[in-house]
């Protein structure tokens, strides 16, 4: 037992203390959090825009088709672009998207953290868009009709009547998407970003000792996700309390 | 058309058609009707006859395939009409109430007047409380819709529409989703409203209500108006075979 403990101590020292290797983990964690946070923002903005276009088009198609103006055709094109975006992004692996971003689209730039952030943001946007659209479509159409029959226009109906109801129902799903995003960023190492996973792997490469760094990385992710999940739980309970 | 319109007619429907699936399904197949100010019109007919579609077309919740709908002389099915302004003057009550579940009763009733008519909150709430008093629900002002019974919800839905001070009220089977013992309380509110001179168009299966309250009854079948007349003419002296058959089933 004592021998095992001594081994453990030596292993720990080798992987984290020697040459201040723990700093890699800190740097990696920093990058992971940075990428997650900013791609979350990009994803949220993109998702809201795409969901707004898609559901507005679906809900108003009949009314717009009756009097075909220029706006109708512009809207139809924008809607088609959004659909294409959803298909391509959800139909290809995030790693491939990341590599395409890094080696083709931004081939001249070597700002790897920024490129990874954009790639993950665009990826997350597609999922957020579908979560939001699902939320909007799940609201009974009678709510729309009641709003419209009182004289609210489409946007006002959305703002005062639909969105507050959607918000409650999609919030847990949306938070889960962010937890998934956090873990997905672990493939950023493919384009040379030193994120948490890559940092652990770099230590492993130096020390030829896999156990310590990889388990440490796994534990850090686990702690982050557990904290996030419990926050979501608190939020859910609070929302349930306010609705009667 | 508008010059042909009688001066006191509020709604005039001309050749209204609603087709689905490229004309295969004809929900409305050429409906002509005129509603006068202060008139209570009850629309009856078998299910699938197009009576709900007709009613919903009147405020463009259904978009007609063909035809014109003149409201106060303006064709609301035409191009470049601000339909939202027209809807403010046309209250609608739905079969399934459609109260906003995330708002209190008071908020349900004041959100439209404060947002659209730019009324102050005090003014809108005062009006709402008056109306709640009339329907006997002033003690539920701060409740949420899920805390109310079906009959209460529908009474709230009626006064919510009235908060916008509409010229016309449309009722789309307002008692069909209610337990039988709650039908009476909703019909009572509607009767009160009719006595006050509100222009009302009611789609319903309540033949007793039609006979008692309606100025005119319209019988629809297969997307057209088959017969119309006073309640006495329709119920006691039906001319068409289809109406006779329908009445034999429901009465």
Question: Nearest C-alpha of chain B: how many angstroms from A163?
Answer: 11
pLDDT the model gives residue B2:
44
Give CA–CA dist B249/B47, Å, rounded.
12
Report which of A24, A23, A33, A30 is spatially closest to residue A183, judged by C-alpha positions: A33
Give CA–CA dist B178/B59, Å, rounded.
24
Question: What mean pLDDT do residues A189-218 have?
Answer: 92
**Integer angstrom CA distances of residue B187 from B174, B175, B181, B193, B206:** 9, 8, 11, 10, 9
Any residues with CB less than 8 A from the CB of A180 and at least 6 apart, and which?
A: A127
Give CA–CA dist A225/A176, Å, rounded.
10
Optimal mutation site among B65, B84, B153, interface A, most CBs of chain A within 10 A? B84
Q: Is the pLDDT of residue A163 over 60?
A: yes
B249: contact with A, CB 8 A cutoff = no
Q: Mind listing the pLDDT tens digit for each residue in B139-186?
A: 999 999 999 999 999 999 999 999 999 999 999 999 999 999 999 999
pLDDT the model gives residue A242:
56
The nearest alpha carbon in chain A to B85 belongs to A151
pLDDT the model gives residue B64:
92
B239: contact with A, CB 8 A cutoff = no
pLDDT the model gives residue A63:
75
pLDDT the model gives residue B6:
53
Question: What mean pLDDT do residues A48-68 have?
Answer: 85
Q: Are B90 and B76 in contact (CB under 8 A)?
A: no
Rounded to 10 deg, the angle between the B105-116 and B121-134 helix axes is 130
pLDDT the model gives residue A234:
87
Any residues with CB less than 8 A from the CB of B133 and at least 6 apart, and which?
A: none
Cβ atoms < 10 Å from Cβ of B139: 9
CB pairs under 8 A between A and B: 65
pLDDT bin (cut points 50, 70, 90) of residue A239 is confident
CB-based contact A151 B79, cutoff 8 Å: no
CB-based contact A151 B99, cutoff 8 Å: no
CB-based contact A150 B161, cutoff 8 Å: yes
Query: Phi and psi dihedrals of B31, rounded to 5?
Result: -110, 130
**Integer angstrom CA distances of residue A41 from A81, A95, A173:** 21, 20, 16
Q: What is the mean pLDDT of each run of 10 residues along chain B (251 residues)?
A: 59 93 87 94 94 95 92 89 93 96 95 95 96 95 94 97 96 95 95 95 95 96 95 95 94 81
Give CA–CA dist B215/B232, Å, rounded.
10
Q: Cα torsion for B235, B239, B240, B245, to the nearest 10°?
A: 40
Q: Cα torsion for B73, B76, B79, B81, to the nearest 10°?
A: 90
Give CA–CA dist B139/B136, Å, rounded.
8
Q: Mind listing the pLDDT tens digit for each residue in A93-130?
A: 999 999 999 999 999 988 999 999 999 999 999 999 99
CB-based contact B101 A152, cutoff 8 Å: no
pLDDT the model gives residue A161:
95
Give CA–CA dist B15/B31, Å, rounded.
5
Entry field: residues in chain A: 244
Give CA–CA dist B23/B38, Å, rounded.
35
| Residue B66, beta-bridge partner list | B17
Report which of A213, A39, A16, A182 is spatially closest to residue A121, judged by C-alpha positions: A39
Closest Cβ opposite residue B94 in set A146, A152, A160: A146
Question: Nearest C-alpha of chain B: how many angstroms from A155?
Answer: 12
DSSP string, chain B: -TTTS-TTEEEEEEEEEEEEGGGTEEEEEEEEEEEETT-EEEEE--TTSSHHHHHHHTTTSS--SEEEEEETTEETTSTT--HHHHHHTEEEE-TT----TTS-HHHHHHHHHHHHS---HHHHHHHHHHHHHHTT-GGGTTS-GGGS-HHHHHHHHHHHHHTT--SEEEEESTTTTS-HHHHHHHHHHHHHHHHTT-EEEEE-S-HHHHHHH-SEEEEEETTEEEEEE-HHHHHHS--SHHHHHHHHHH-
Residue A17 in tokens: 């203390």
pLDDT the model gives residue B78:
86
The nearest alpha carbon in chain B to A156 belongs to B115
Entry field: residues in chain B: 251
Per cent of chain A over pLDDT 70 is: 98
Closest Cβ opposite residue B59 in set A140, A149, A168: A149
CB-based contact A62 B144, cutoff 8 Å: no
Closest Cβ opposite residue B112 in set A62, A63, A152: A152
Q: Mind listing the pLDDT tens digit for each residue in A124-137?
A: 999 999 999 999 99
Q: What is the 3-state secondary structure (H, E, C) of A128-173?
A: HHHHHHHHHHHCCHHHHHHHHHHCCCHHHHHHHHHHHHHHHHHHHH
B91: contact with A, CB 8 A cutoff = yes
Give CA–CA dist A13/A77, Å, rounded.
60
Question: Does the ipTM surpass 0.95?
Answer: no
Any residues with CB less than 8 A from the CB of A234 and at least 6 apart, and which?
A: none
The nearest alpha carbon in chain B to A154 belongs to B84
Cα-Cα-Cα-Cα dihedral sign, residues B23, B27, B29, B33 = negative
Q: Are B193 and B134 in contact (CB under 8 A)?
A: no
pLDDT the model gives residue A115:
96
Q: Which range among A186-190, A193-197, B24-28 shows the weakest confidence by mean pLDDT?
A: B24-28
Question: Nearest C-alpha of chain B: how many angstroms from A141?
Answer: 9
The nearest alpha carbon in chain A to B117 belongs to A151
Give CA–CA dist B155/B139, Å, rounded.
14
pLDDT bin (cut points 50, 70, 90) of residue A28 is very high
How far from chain centre, in Å, is Cα A58?
25
Bigger pLDDT: B100 or A68? B100
Give CA–CA dist A180/A182, Å, rounded.
5
CB-based contact B87 A149, cutoff 8 Å: yes
Query: Phi and psi dihedrals of A59, rounded to 5?
Result: -80, -25
pLDDT the model gives residue A237:
83
Q: Are B225 and B32 in contact (CB under 8 A)?
A: yes
Q: Which of chain A's residues have a Cβ under 8 Å away from the Cβ of B173?
A: none
Question: What mean pLDDT do residues A158-183 have?
Answer: 91
Q: Cα torsion for B213, B219, B224, B229, to the nearest 10°?
A: -70
């Amino acid at each position: 037992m004592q021998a095992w403990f001594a081994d453990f101590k030596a292993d720990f020292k080798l992987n984290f203390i020697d040459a201040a290797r723990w700093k890699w983990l800190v740097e990696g964690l920093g990058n992971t959090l940075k990428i997650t946070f900013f791609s979350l923002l990009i994803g949220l903005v993109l998702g809201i825009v795409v969901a707004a276009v898609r559901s507005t088009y679906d809900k108003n198609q009949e009314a717009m088709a009756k009097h075909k103006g220029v706006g109708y055709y512009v809207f139809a094109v924008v809607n088609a672009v959004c659909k294409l975006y959803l298909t391509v992004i959800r139909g290809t692996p995030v790693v491939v998207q990341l590599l395409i971003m890094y080696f083709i689209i931004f081939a001249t730039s070597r700002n790897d953290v920024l490129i990874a952030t954009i790639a993950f943001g665009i990826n997350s946007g597609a999922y957020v868009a579908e979560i939001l659209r699902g939320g909007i479509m799940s609201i009974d159409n009678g709510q729309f009709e009641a709003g419209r029959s009182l004289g609210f226009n489409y946007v006002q109906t959305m703002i005062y009547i639909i969105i507050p109801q959607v918000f409650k129902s999609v919030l847990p799903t949306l938070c889960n998407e962010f937890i998934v995003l956090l873990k997905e960023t672990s493939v950023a190492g493919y384009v040379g970003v030193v994120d948490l996973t890559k940092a652990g792997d770099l230590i492993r490469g130096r020390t030829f000792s896999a156990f310590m760094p990889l388990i440490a990385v796994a534990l850090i992710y686990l702690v982050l996700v557990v904290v996030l999940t419990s926050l979501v739980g608190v939020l859910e309970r609070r929302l349930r309390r306010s609705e009667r | 058309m508008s010059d042909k319109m009688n001066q006191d007619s509020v709604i005039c429907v001309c050749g209204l058609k609603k087709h689905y699936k490229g004309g295969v399904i004809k929900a409305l197949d050429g409906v002509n009707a005129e509603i006068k100010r202060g008139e209570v019109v009850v629309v009856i007919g078998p299910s699938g006859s197009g009576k709900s579609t007709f009613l919903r077309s009147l405020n463009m919740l259904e978009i007609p395939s063909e035809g014109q709908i003149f409201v106060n002389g303006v064709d609301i099915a035409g191009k470049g009409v601000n339909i939202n302004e027209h809807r403010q003057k046309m209250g609608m009550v739905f079969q399934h109430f459609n109260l906003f579940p995330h708002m209190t009763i008071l908020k349900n009733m004041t959100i439209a007047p404060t947002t659209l008519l730019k009324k102050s909150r005090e003014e809108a709430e005062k009006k709402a409380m008056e109306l709640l008093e009339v329907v006997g629900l002033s003690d539920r002002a701060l409740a949420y819709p899920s805390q109310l019974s079906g009959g209460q919800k529908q009474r709230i839905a009626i006064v919510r529409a009235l908060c916008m001070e509409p010229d016309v009220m449309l009722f789309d089977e307002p008692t069909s989703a209610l337990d039988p013992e709650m039908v009476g309380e909703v019909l009572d509110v509607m009767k009160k409203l009719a006595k006050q001179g509100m222009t009302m168009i009611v789609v319903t299966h309540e033949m007793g209500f039609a006979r008692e309250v309606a100025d005119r009854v319209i019988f629809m079948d297969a997307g057209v108006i088959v017969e119309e007349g006073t309640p006495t003419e329709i119920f006691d002296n039906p001319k068409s075979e289809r109406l006779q058959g329908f009445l034999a089933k429901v009465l």
